[in-house]
A and B are shown apart, each in its own frame.
Chain A
Amino acid sequence: MKNKKRGQQEIVGFVLIVVLVVIGLMVFLIISLRNSPEQEKSVEVSNMLDAIMKHTTECAIVYEPDYDDFEDLFKSCYEGDSCSNLEIGACEYLNESLRAVLEGMFASEATISAYEIDFFMKDDEGEEGLLRIFEGNCTGSVSSAQRSVVSQSDSLIIQMKICKRS
C-alpha cells in the first residue's frame, strides 16, 4: 500500500513537471510567433512608393494643366472627384494609370514575382478598402512600405507589398 502511494505521488510529480514544461513551451512559442512580422519594412519599397506618389498623371480635376500626381489622385478618388479633361472618374483613372505605371516599373525587375497596392481608409471603427491592385504569383519573401495621406480629416493609407523570388 505504501509503495503504491509513493508510486502515485511520483506519477503526479512527473505529470506536474510535464504540464509546467508544456505551458512554458507554449508561452515561448506564442511570444516568438507574435514577434516575427508577416512582412518586413523595406527601404527599397519605401523609395519605390515615394517615386510613385510623385508621378504626375494626366488627370486634371479642376483645369488643365493642373494635373494631379498620384498622391493627389488618391485623395481625389476618395473625395469622389472626376478628371475634367478626360471625363472619367478619378478612381477609374487611378486604377488604370497606376496599373500602367507599375507594369512599366516591374518590366525591368526580374527578381520581383508579384506586387500589391492597397488603398484603404482607416478610422476608429476599422479599415475600409477602396482600391486593390494585385499582379503575379507570390513565391518568396515579402517586403512592404506604406504612406498615409489626409483627406477631409480622414486618414488614407496606401500600402505597397513586393514579393521577391528567393
Chain B
Amino acid sequence: MVENREFSTGGRGYMADGKKRGQMKMMQMAFMIVAVFFFFILVGLFFLSIQFKDVKGSAAQLQRDQAISSLRVIADMPELSYDSGESATLDEDKLKVMSGNFSRYYDEFWPVASVGVYKLGTGYNETKPCPGVGCNYYKLYDNEQDNVRTYSTYVSICKKVKELGFVYDGCEVGKLEVGVIMRDEE
C-alpha cells in the first residue's frame, strides 16, 4: 500500500514537472516571438526612415522644377523667342521692344505678376535697367503686386550682329525671372 502510494505520488510529481517545463518552453517561445516581432518592426522603421528621409525636400524640389519648366513656356512665346527653332532662346530686339512703351498693350496678356530678363554675360556686377548704356535688365511687365514669389531660369539671349559684312547670331547667357501671385492660404 505504502509503496503504491509513494509510486503514485512520485508519478504526479513527474507529471507536474513536465507540465511546468512545457509551460516554461512555451513562455520562452512566446518571448522569442515577441522579441523577433519587435526586432522586425525596428528594422521596418529603420528602412522607412531611410526611404522617406527627404520626402519634403524632394517635394519642394519637384515643385521648383515644375515652376522652372513652366517658365520655358513663357520663354518660348512668339513675343519673346528668337527665330532659331531652339527652346529657351530670347530675342534681344524683342526684349527691347517689349520693355519699352509697347509693353502697356500687353498688360492683360501676361498670366503672371511680373516678367524680367537679366543679361548675365561677362562682367555682370549690378543691375542696370534698360534702356541705357551697358544695361543688363529688361523689365517687361510688373503689376506691382506685393504677395509675389519669383522663379527664375537660365536662358539664352540672342540677336543678329553684323560685322565685317557678315551677319551672325550673337548669344549670351541670361536669366528669365517671373513673379507669381501667391494666394493666401485659407
Q: Which positions in A face B, CB cutoff 8 Å?
A: 21, 25, 28, 32, 40, 42-44, 47-48, 50-52, 54-56, 64-67, 69, 97, 100-101, 103-105, 107-108, 141
Contact = CB atoms under 8 A, between A and B. Distances in A.
A48 B158 CA distance: 15
Nearest to A21: B39
Contacts, number: 88
Given A47-B153, A104-B124, A108-B118, A56 B175 contact: no
Given A64-B163, A108-B120, A56 B65 contact: no
Contacts of A28: 43, 47
Interface in B28-56: 39, 43, 47, 50-51
Q: Enumerate the 6 nearest inter-chain pairs by beta-carbon distance, A residue then B residue, closest first.
A: A104-B124, A65-B163, A51-B154, A54-B156, A43-B65, A48-B154
A101 B122 contact: yes
A65 B166 contact: yes
A104 B168 contact: no
Contacts of B121: 55, 101, 104
Nearest to A48: B154
B173 A52 contact: yes
Given A43-B69, A51-B173, A56-B168, 10 more contacts: A47-B68, A47-B155, A50-B154, A51-B174, A56-B172, A64-B163, A67-B168, A69-B171, A104-B121, A107-B124
A42 B118 CA distance: 21
Nearest to B174: A51
